[in-house]
Amino acid sequence: MALAAAQVADRVAAILVAAATAASSRVFTSRTWPLAEAELPALRVYVDAEQIEPETIDYPYLQKHSAAVRVQGSVQASADIDDAMHNLAEQVLSALFGTQANAQLQPLTNVYMTASEIDRAVIDGPADVGQITVGLAVQFRTFSNNPSTLV
């Protein structure tokens, strides 16, 4: 089984695939997954950073994880690249914070948006390619002797 943080990224990715965003099934859980222009729009979901703190004093320790999850959308458009990026970000947020996502996010707690930023917009050939990143803060818990099981 994967570490709990990897499971968080997988869970977010599964929600986005099921939501039928413009990226469709092109949702990858790796920040380095190579993307060709023919694969756009697409999403990358990954944990950028994680802080862990004990919540109990007895072994095994109950640990609270606070993770920064990034959903990076890549789009291509021949006009209005900003609109294309913002539309994809809106679809991501609707999928993650809609009523159906609540049950799928359990046992994650305190999932909220922390940022939305345009990483770059590149004019490349007849169409622009742009990236927008939605930052999420996610909290979850594990036991110190079982880092791959969410509790």
Instruction: Enter the DSSP assignment of 146.
Output: B
- Paired strand residues for 69: 47, 136
Which whole number is the average pLDDT over 76-89?
Answer: 89
Token pair listed for 96? 């993650």
What pTM was computed for the model? 0.89
Whether residue 76 contacts residue 41, with contact meaning beta carbons closer than 8 Å, is answered with: yes
pLDDT in tens, 30-75: 888 788 888 999 999 999 999 999 999 999 999 999 999 999 999 9
